[in-house]
Structures are given as structure tokens and as C-alpha cells.
Amino acid sequence: MKYAFLLLAGLALPGVTLAQAPTKVKTKLKRGNAPASSPAKQPSATVQAPPADYAAQYAARYITQEHLRRDLSVLASDEYEGRETGTKGQKMAAAYISQQFAADSLVAPVAANATNPYLQTFDLERSAWQPGGTITVGGKGYEWLKDFYAFGRSPFQQATAVQPVFVGYGIEQGEYSDYKGRDVQGKDLIVLLGEPHTADGKSVLSADGSATKWAVDFRAKAGLAAQKGARSVFFVDFSPKADFAKLTARLAPRVMQPIIAPAEQAGGRAPAFFVSPAVALKMLSTNDAAIRSYEAATAAAKAPVASKFKPVKFTISAPQERSTVSTENVLGFLPGTDKKEEILVVSAHYDHLGIIGGQVYNGADDDGSGTVGVLALAQAFSKAAHAGHGPRRSILFLANTGEEKGLLGSQYYTNNPVFPLASTIADLNIDMIGRTDVAHEGQPDYVYVIGSDKLSSQLHAVMEAANRQYTKLDLDYRFNDPNDPNRFYYRSDHYNFAVHKVPVAFFFNGVHADYHEASDEVSKIEFNKLEERAKLVFFTAWELANREERPVVDSNKP
């Protein structure tokens, strides 16, 4: 849908840029009932007019609940089928976003794409697990989606003999290392989920006993295993509260969803297989009592201890069907004025989870809310530019694909940038800004800000100043803590810019009961909060695009 009906005829906002000094205006006093002795004309007086606040004016006109609702009602509708990467719905969303960029007269910067130069197209590989996978240990067979399941790219397309290696919790942190002195290149590892902890559940890896990232994020362990050269990881949860059968039944529809990934990806995460405790005990040739003894000894030592387990060979078949798919980032570019060679990126991911078990996962908050925020910012900046109040620096509005598949769209852009990363001053990334999490129910409006101080103290200061002047939200930094086990800093598209030392700020409302569920619908979006959070990003972007100096990279916080 085009924006033509929003072009206000004769839009004439007063004309100065941020760099201009206030205008002097001469006024003449009108004749009145002055005394007869007074001169007929009073001398001219000079008064100081306040500088025009264009940021506030354009935010008020174009970043509105009405505009946000209109776009989100399209992108998060069933018609778009959940916008899963590489599917018809994702491509429909890419077309819609590019149409809005065109309607706002943004430049289409991808010259290599003759069909639609707003689209940065690239290929990925789709892998879909096939039924019938098996694990055979000691002559006994175990079944796919009953005794084991997996995520990732299977290295076991055909029945393969495996000699596993047990590496404890698969953790490396400070002096604690399950890999010390071990060569696991090309090996298949058995790893305990969780982390060593005391009898009352306190982590031995943190000073205060709080859980670390290793307690909840198997991806961190799979990533570390890949760094060590492992071929695959077999995870097992021996905790008393674990219910493998129930968890497997719940996850089965998602496990069977196609996996989208680069065909050949260096680094990343090792394929992650999850086996039942019964299967793991067979693999380790041990019993439950020996596992409890190992866990207790590790916790008491606060260090890895030698185990008496003797892993046995087993055979596994876990086939996948593979095919090549194309997908697209959507780029809209607004050239700057006197500092146009420097680029500010405003980003969000527009993909979601697609259709799972026959249900459409519309992702209204994740990340429909961020996507429509980018569209609103793009329109506001474009209208300002076409009225003569454009930003000094150029702005790239970047709608990423493949975020839910592992930040793939932003990874592709930062590895193949249309504009040099050396000229990119910052990335303001918006991922979920339309809801309220449990921690803030009944509290003043807020937004989590993550990463704003990790590379540039100036970026952080600009964002805070914009909030003080305009939106006055409660800025919550709890997830900016490097010890936060959720690791949100590493889980959205800004991170790929940070890897390249581009300063970033990530705006986020936190997870809620509808996160990654089919119930994440437009009807639950709080558009008043979405509007204010989008405005905070706009005001931050306005200052970054117009200030004299780009943010200095003066930090390297974890």
C-alpha cells in the first residue's frame, strides 16, 4: 500500500538545520493608544526566535500508532504465512517493505539486482529432518523423536559408526575447562546439559552462585564445541526434574521444521543431538548413581574431574533432505547532505517462524513490531529530507531476513556490505518493541537497551540524552550485563555489526508468554508503547545523523 494519501499538500515547516543558529526576526510594534507625545512609530525591536525542533515535528507527524498498526496488520496477517525465511510469505513481506521504501522515495542501492534493487538476494540451504532416524547401542535400537532428536545440519546422512568422547559439561570459563589437554578435532562429544552446582542449586562458576550462560544455553556449548573442532554434540539432561518424553513431544513439530543455514558455514555451532537419559547411560556404559557421583565431585572440586565412564561405539542414522533456497534483505537508502559518506544503519528483522503444525506463527511482536518501526522511521526521515531538513549523514534502513535461523541476513550483509563498514557509524537495531514483559507489568513505560555502551560511550550518551529530552522511558540495562544467562546481546542482528567493531544499540521489550508462539498476534500489541519506543530510536538516529562527529569506538566491553 502506498503512502500517497499522507503527502500533506504544502508541508512547510520552518527551515533551519541543527547546525544553524537561531534566526533573528525583526518585528514592528503596532500603533495603539499611545500618549500624544509619543512618536507615531516605535523603533524596530529584535527578538530571538527559538530554533525549530524538526525531530519532534517529524516524529509527531509520521511515527504514529495509526501508521504502525496499518503496516503491522499487513505483515503479521495470516496471508503472509509467518514470513519464514525462504518461503512465499517472506518474499511477500520483502515485496511489501520494498514498496514502502519506494513510496517514500528512498534510493534502491543494490545495483546488482536488476529486478528489484531494494533486495540483497543470497542463497541458503534448506535441510529437513526425515522420519526413521535410529541410534543403535549395544545391539538395541532407539527411535527418532522418541529417544532422540536434533537441531542443525546432520553429519549422519547414512548409518555411521561413532566412537563418542565424554567432555563433562562442555564448558570453558576462566580456569574451568572441560577441554584442557584434549583433542576433539572431528570427534563426536557427549555433554551434560546445565552446569556444576551445589546441592541447593547454586552455580560453582559464579561468585554469587547465580546461574551462568552455561546453565541454560546449549547453543553456547555447541558453539564452543565447534571452535574446538568437534563434528557433533550429544546432549543429555540428567537433572531429576527433566522429562525427556514430554519435552520431545512438545518440540517435535519444531524439530521437523526445515532448517535454513548457509550451505558451507565456517565456525557456527556443532550439530546438537539430544538423547534420553536411558540412551546416554548406554552410550557411557554407566548408571545413574555414577552420574550423580560425577556431578557431586565436579561441584565439590569446582573444576572438571576425571570420570570412570567408558563410552561405547554406537551407530546413528539421521537423514535430512536438502535443497537450495534464496532469500532477501531489504535495503532503503537516504543520502545525507554534507556528511553523506558516513552511514547510519537502522535495522530490524522481518522474518519469523512460518507455519508449524498447521498453525501460522505471525510474529507480530517478533519482529513485526521492529519492522514497522523501521518503516515509520524511514518515512519520517524521508519527509524531512524532501522538505529540506534531511540528515547530514546518510541512513540505511535495513530489513534483515534469516534472523530466526541464526542472524543470517545481517551476517550476509556485514560480510557483503553495500556500503563500507568502515564508513558505518552505528547500527540501531529494533527487535520486539510492542509488548510488556512480566518484570514491567503495571510499571511506567520502559525499553531494554543492550550493547549501547559496549563499543562507544558516545553512542550510549546520545541515546540517553535523546530519551531525557523526548521520550522519558525507563531505560532498563539488566540484559546488558555480560553475565546475564539470556545472552540477548548475541541473539539479534546488531551483533554482526558489533563483531566488525561498528557501535550498536539494541532496543527490546523482553520476552513474554507469546514469544515464539502462534499467539504472538497483532491484537496483543500495545501500539502506544510501540510508538514511544520507535520515537526513541528516531530521536537517537536524528542526533547521530546530524551531530558534528561520529561516535568514537572507545571501549570493548564483553
pLDDT at 24 over 60: no
Orientation of helix 457-466 relative to helix 527-546, angle to 10° = 130
- pLDDT given at position 4: 34
pLDDT at 71 over 80: yes
Kindly list the domain boundaries of the chain, sorted by start residue: 54-123+326-546, 131-318
pLDDT at 28 over 60: no
pLDDT at 66 over 50: yes
What average pLDDT score do residues 281-287 get? 98
- pLDDT given at position 42: 53
**Residues 6+ positions from 423 with CB-CB distance below 8 Å:** 341, 342, 343
Distances (CA, A) of 46 to 14, 24, 40, 43, 236: 19, 7, 19, 10, 79
Neighbours of 16 (CB within 10 A): 16
**What residue spans of 63-87 are helical by DSSP H?**
65-75
Distance CA 398, CA 393 (A): 16
3-state helix vs strand vs coil in the chain, percent to 5 = 35, 25, 45
Instruction: Supply 315's cell numbers.
Output: 551407530
Q: Using CA atoms of 517, 523, 525, 527 in order, give the dihedral in degrees to the nearest 10.
A: 170
Distance CA 398, CA 110 (A): 12
pLDDT at 12 over 60: no
pLDDT at 314 over 60: yes
- pLDDT given at position 25: 33
Distance CA 164, CA 275 (A): 13
Dump pLDDT digits (tens) for 444-490. 999 999 999 999 999 999 999 999 999 999 999 999 999 888 989 99
Dump pLDDT digits (tens) for 123-159. 999 999 999 999 999 999 999 999 999 999 999 999 9
Instruction: Identify the CATH assignment for 54-123+326-546 out of 2.10.260.10, 2.40.50.140, 3.40.630.10, 3.40.50.300.
Output: 3.40.630.10
Distance CA 234, CA 189 (A): 6
pTM check: above 0.85: no
Instruction: Supply 211's cell numbers.
Output: 546461574
- pLDDT given at position 47: 67
pLDDT at 20 over 70: no
**Residues 6+ positions from 226 with CB-CB distance below 8 Å:** 267, 268, 269, 270
Dump pLDDT digits (tens) for 387-428. 999 999 999 999 999 999 999 999 999 999 999 999 999 999
Q: Assess contact for 191 and 167: CB atoms under 8 A.
A: yes
Q: Assess contact for 225 and 233: CB atoms under 8 A.
A: yes
State what percent of residues in the chain have pLDDT above 90.
85
- pLDDT given at position 45: 58
Maximum distance among all alpha carbons in the chain?
119
Give 50's pLDDT tier (boundaries 50, 70, 90). Answer: confident
What average pLDDT score do residues 269-282 get? 96
CA pseudo-torsion sign 549, 504, 481, 510 = positive
pLDDT at 195 over 50: yes
Average pLDDT of the chain is: 91
- pLDDT given at position 23: 35
Instruction: Supply 273's cell numbers.
Output: 543431538
- pLDDT given at position 257: 87
pLDDT at 41 over 60: no
What average pLDDT score do residues 496-523 get? 98
Class assignment of domain 131-318?
Answer: alpha beta
Cα–chain center distance at 57: 29
Distance CA 102, CA 371 (A): 16
What average pLDDT score do residues 213-234 get? 95
In terms of Cα–Cα distance, which of 497, 482, 490, 448 is closest to 558?
482
Lowest mean pLDDT among 232-246, 255-269, 400-414, 420-434: 255-269
What average pLDDT score do residues 206-233 get? 94
pLDDT at 46 over 80: no
Of the chain, the end-to-end C-alpha distance in Å amounts to 42
- pLDDT given at position 2: 31
Residues found in the chain? 558
